[in-house]
Amino acid sequence: MSRKVLGIDIRNTSVAAVLVESGLREKRITAHAHRPISGAEDFQSGLRAALQSLAEEIDPAGCDCVVAISADHFSYRNLRIPFKNARKIQLVLPFELEPILPYPADELVIDFIQLSAAGQGDQSDIFAVALPRQRLDPFIEALSGIDVDPEIITVGGLPAALCLAAEADPGEDRLAIEIGEHSSALFVIAGGQVKLIRSFANPAEAGADRIKVLCSMIRHTLAAYGDNADTEFHPLDLVVTGKDSKDDDVEDGLAKILNLPAKALNLNQRLAIADDSPDSRKWNAALLDGALALAITAIEGYDGLNFHRGQFAARKFVAKHKTHLIKSGILAAAVLALLVINVAIESYTLNRQLSRLDQQITGIFKATFPRVKRIQDAYQQMQINVRQAKNNAVLQAETTTHIRSIDILNRISQSIPVSVPIDVSRLVISAETVLISGKTDGFKAVDEIKNQLEKIDFFKKVTISSANIDRSGKEVRFQLKAEL
């Protein structure tokens, strides 16, 4: 069965739509269109007119519609939450965000991406995104004007970043940037996940000066991310999408200043998606990649952000999939009947096994405690007797020594020879481990530092987490992990 997904990418100055039809074997672009939003004074009217024009060219009826709105409408925060359960995180997140956002919690629509667990315990690192409801409602109203009730409303540029994260190799870091006319959004991709989103206004300068200011903003964002990240971030490349027409040489400018390969996204070529659209106009990747990425993420089911979960109409879903739901219901009823029969048989078998086990437990109890004549619950009575026996035994408690951080620093300083050049950039001391990050002049020096640290009696084991030559080629960046 084929599925039709319509991606609608709403930016501040234009709207793009791409219709993708997916089957069991392939995906095909069957229609695409782009419309400017005219009338900067009344954005709502211009948006309604642009959507109406798109609907006349691409009929949204019978399609699963997914929508993205410009990233500069949202607020982004990286947080550490004392829960791993997603439901609990969703409940406490408004109260965590309210003190650091200029909006009351009840006026925000919030979603989050749960990143890797934060060390040990029940903590989680999350990436939270919030949107004032008063900014979201006009988009929903404009979409309702063309009878579109989207299944997903997400951050512009995020679907393209999710596609890049899905195709990245394990341990591969990447950067993606969506450049709009008035604002840009930067996406940090590491470990197959989008770890950070930052939106910033585009500089007013033009040409080379514009690119220089843009690079400065990217560097500041990466520096802030590096200070808070657990591991070093070394992007393989920078992928550019949504660039303005006046920035035709933006990839070359970014690559030259950032010393990083930069290239345009061109998602349909990257994913080898055929374009069967009747529109004879040339595919414009800069304008249409965002809408195409929306459709692809919905088809593939990539886990992203959705600010329209509570708005999705269940009645519409039932009407759309009524035939399949009836067939699934019949199959589910047959499976349920088989399960009931299976449970009844297993219950009878287990009862017989339990009876035999109860007899064995009673026999063991009588052999172990022959003086006990009255037996009511052999298992519980055995637990009580064993507990009493333990209480009568002499227990020796192990004592643990508290190691002060200043003592650890002193021993590290004394252990590393003066002849070994080292520049420590980060030192993290926890209850069980010590992480040391820095630079030295070669891999032999890293081994020498490791060997000297292993001689400290505080440390059980010292391992080299990473050791890489930096961009200058003259020094080696390293990270050591010592277990206390």
Three-state SS at 371: coil
Q: Where are the alpha helices (DSSP H) in 16-80?
A: 43-57
Residue 235 has pLDDT above 50, yes or no: yes
Which class does domain 3-320 fall in?
A: alpha beta
Distance between CA atoms of 249 and 206, rounded to whole angstroms? 12
Residue 215 has pLDDT above 50, yes or no: yes
**pTM (2 d.p.):** 0.64
**pLDDT for 432:** 84
The domain spans of the chain are 3-320, 325-392, 405-483
Query: Half-sphere exposure of residue 419, counting CA atoms within 13 Å on the CB side?
Result: 4
Query: Helix count (H) and strand count (E) of the chain?
Result: 13, 18
* 421-432: pLDDT as tens digits: 888 888 888 878
- Across all residues in the chain, what is the average pLDDT? 85
**pLDDT for 329:** 87
**pLDDT for 378:** 79
Sign of CA dihedral 447, 453, 455, 460: negative
pLDDT level of residue 410 (50, 70, 90 thresholds): confident
Assign domain 405-483 to its CATH superfamily: General secretion pathway protein M, EpsM (3.30.1360.100)
Distance between CA atoms of 204 and 234, rounded to whole angstroms? 29
The stretch 354-376 carries a mean pLDDT of 82
**pLDDT for 471:** 81
Using a 10 angstrom Cβ sphere, with 0-12 exposed, 13-18 middle and 19 or more buried, the burial of residue 317 is: middle
* 303-318: pLDDT as tens digits: 889 998 754 445 455 5
CB neighbour burial string for 297-316, b if at least 16 within 10 angstroms, e if fewer: bbbeebebbbbbeeeeeeee
Classify strands 433-440 and 422-429 as parallel, antiparallel or unpaired: antiparallel
Sign of CA dihedral 204, 207, 212, 216: positive
Distance between CA atoms of 198 and 339, rounded to whole angstroms? 50
**pLDDT for 396:** 40
Residue 174 has pLDDT above 70, yes or no: yes
| Rg, the chain, Cα only | 30
**pLDDT for 121:** 63
Who has greater pLDDT, 253 or 121?
A: 253
pLDDT level of residue 247 (50, 70, 90 thresholds): low
